[in-house]
């Protein structure tokens, strides 16, 4: 018994089901509203391009500039945290709103919670020190290293910042060379420059 394409039975049973897409969205929205999954993600538009946001019960775990590594990011979280990951714009709404306000120049610090669970050791200390740099200010790599307890580890601090999982909210763009040079940025130096301009930092 083979299924032939001109077989009217097979054709009827195979008829596309466009309703499935809406049903799947309803499922994801309800799963988010009832907190059935462990992590939620959404792609969010911003003046610097699309952002990938991921959050769980403890707060935001990820803010990446979308650069084709979305799948890898989510797979990593599935492995480290939980595979119960569902797409839901509603679940990421509070972070999205704060980011909108930030980009509109109406917000200088973020209030929605950040999840520090995956961050440990020196990397955590560096990112903690970075999170404390106020809007519109910049610190040097060595001062961040010093604040993290290792004054001579400026290069290692740079590496820790390069692997910042929560860009913008943990403001690694506020760390640059003492000379005023921009240093590096995982999202690209152009984005770093534009974030500093937005915050009114003089070059």
Partner 1 sequence: MASIPPFQRALDEHKEEIWRFLRGMVGAQAAEDCFQETFLAALRAYPRLRPDSNVRAWLFTIAHRKALDHIRRRRHETPLSGKEERAAPERPDREIWSSVAALPPRQRAAVLLRYGCDLRHREIAAAIGCSEEAARRSLHEGLKRLRETI
DSSP string, 156-194: HHHHHHHT-SBTTTS-GGGEE-TTS-----TT-HHHHHH
Rounded to the nearest 10 degrees, the angle between the axes of helix 121-131 and helix 154-162 is 80
Q: Is 14 in the site for partner 1 (CB under 8 A)?
A: yes
Candidate list 47, 49, 83, 136; residue touching partner 1; CB under 8 A: 83
Quick count: other Cβ atoms within 10 Å of Cβ 16?
A: 6
Nearest residue (CB) to partner 1, 165 versus 183: 165
Please select the residue that binds partner 1; options are 5, 6, 13, 152, rule is CB under 8 A. Answer: 13
Catalytic site residue from 126, 172, 175, 195: 172
Among 43, 47, 67, 82, binds partner 1 (CB under 8 A): 82
Q: Which is nearer to partner 1, 86 or 201 (CB)?
A: 86
Q: Does 68 bind partner 1 (CB under 8 A)?
A: no
Told to judge if 172 belongs to the known catalytic residues of this protein, a careful annotator would answer yes
Q: Is 132 in the site for partner 1 (CB under 8 A)?
A: no
Sequence-ordered alpha helix ranges (H) in the chain? 8-13, 19-33, 70-80, 93-103, 121-131, 141-147, 154-162, 189-198
Map residue 65 onto helix, strand or coil.
strand
Strand bridging mode 51-56 / 139-140: unpaired
Which span (71-79, 121-129, 145-153, 178-186) binds partner 1, by CB under 8 A? 71-79
Q: Which residues are catalytic?
A: 172
Which residues contribute to the site for partner 1 (CB under 8 A)? 1, 3, 7-17, 19-21, 23-24, 26-28, 30-31, 36-37, 41, 74-75, 77-79, 82-87
């Amino acid at each position: 018994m083979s299924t032939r394409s001109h077989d009217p039975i097979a054709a009827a049973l195979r008829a596309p089901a466009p309703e499935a897409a809406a049903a799947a969205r309803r499922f994801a929205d309800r799963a988010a509203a009832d907190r059935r999954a462990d992590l939620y993600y959404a792609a969010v538009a911003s003046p610097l391009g699309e952002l990938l946001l991921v959050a769980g019960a403890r707060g935001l775990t990820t803010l990446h500039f979308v650069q084709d590594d979305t799948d890898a990011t989510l797979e990593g979280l599935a492995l480290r945290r939980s595979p119960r990951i569902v797409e839901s714009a509603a679940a990421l709404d509070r972070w999205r709103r704060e980011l909108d306000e930030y980009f509109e120049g109406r917000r200088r610090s973020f209030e929605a919670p950040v999840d520090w669970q995956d961050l440990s050791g020196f990397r955590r200390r560096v990112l903690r020190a970075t999170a404390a740099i106020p809007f519109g200010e910049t610190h040097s790599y060595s001062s961040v290293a010093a604040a993290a307890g290792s004054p001579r580890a400026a290069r290692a601090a740079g590496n820790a910042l390069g692997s910042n999982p929560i860009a913008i909210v943990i403001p690694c763009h506020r760390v640059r060379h003492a000379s005023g040079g921009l240093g590096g940025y995982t999202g690209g130096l152009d984005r770093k420059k534009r974030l500093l301009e937005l915050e009114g930092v003089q070059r």
